[in-house]
A and B are shown apart, each in its own frame.
Chain A
Amino acid sequence: GENVEQHPSTLSVQEGDSAVIKCTYSDSASNYFPWYKQELGKGPQLIIDIRSNVGEKKDQRIAVTLNKTAKHFSLHITETQPEDSAVYFCAAGSNFGNEKLTFGTGTRLTIIP
């Protein structure tokens, strides 16, 4: 089955600086890679996703890159703000088989004012 590894597990960044979170996956059949943000006491919420036919996607201060050959993808947050503090999860999924999402282990991002 799919295995998703995520690093780092914790990340502290000065407000205004950039944050990068990296994930690797094992199943070459995976072709859908979402990123979720989980705030305290809430459920995960999608912030950006990318499919395997695209190498990079950007939405304002958030960008995701995908390297299918190396089987890794990354989340980039620029000009970080205190409200970016949360736990971030990457995930990998496929259109084939049972189409489930396998999540990474999460990164606790803290933005220091």
Chain B
Amino acid sequence: DTAVSQTPKYLVTQMGNDKSIKCEQNLGHDTMYWYKQDSKKFLKIMFSYNNKELIINETVPNRFSPKSPDKAHLNLHINSLELGDSAVYFCASSTRTGGVGNTEAFFGQGTRLTVV
């Protein structure tokens, strides 16, 4: 009964490869996010989708391409991986309540990406 699940949990890959991380939420939320957490634990938003539409893109390199086939899924595809992409990537979801933005965000367990 996991609320926000992302796969894989660990991903080790070589520079230049292309990889994808999948995320699914079963909470019925309409908004999903990708966050990047670096080695110093800084949490920074990358993308936000609301009802399958992109609403936030925080100057992320275009090697990163999110895809939302439906509002329960938000996948992250990364092309031409670089050493600096090594981090933990978190998927999250939330919902609007009564038209008010910013309610509790539920996070997945994270995907630790290591580029070698």
Interface residues of chain A, those whose CB is within 8 Å of chain B, are 31-32, 34, 36, 38, 41-46, 49, 87, 89, 93-96, 98-103, 105-106, 108
Chain B, interface size: which category? 20 to 34
Q: In the complex, what distance in Å separates the CA atom of A41 from the CA atom of B108? A: 11
B37 to chain A: closest CB distance in Å? 9
Q: Are A46 and B43 closer than 8 Å at their CB atoms? A: no
Interface residues of chain B, those whose CB is within 8 Å of chain A, are 4, 40-45, 48, 55-56, 58, 90, 92, 100-102, 104-110
Within 8 Å CB of B42, what residues of A? 103, 105-106
A15 to chain B: closest CB distance in Å? 24
Q: Are B110 and A42 closer than 8 Å at their CB atoms? A: yes
Q: Are B56 and A100 closer than 8 Å at their CB atoms? A: yes
B40 to chain A: closest CB distance in Å? 8
Q: Are A95 and B43 closer than 8 Å at their CB atoms? A: no
How many contacts between A and B, using CB within 8 angstroms? 60
Q: Are A46 and B105 closer than 8 Å at their CB atoms? A: yes
Within 8 Å CB of A101, what residues of B? 45, 102, 105
B2 to chain A: closest CB distance in Å? 11
Q: In the complex, what distance in Å separates the CA atom of A43 from the CA atom of B90? A: 7
Given contacts A100-B56, A106-B42, contact A43 B102 (CB under 8 A): no
Q: Are B41 and A95 closer than 8 Å at their CB atoms? A: no
Within 8 Å CB of B48, what residues of A? 98, 100
Chain A residue at minimal CB-CB distance from B6 = A43
Q: In the complex, what distance in Å separates the CA atom of A7 from the CA atom of B100? A: 29
- 23 example contacts (A-B, Cβ-Cβ < 8 A) are as follows A32-B102, A34-B105, A38-B41, A41-B109, A43-B4, A43-B90, A43-B92, A43-B107, A43-B109, A44-B107, A46-B104, A46-B106, A87-B41, A89-B43, A93-B102, A94-B101, A95-B102, A98-B48, A98-B56, A100-B45, A100-B58, A101-B45, A103-B44
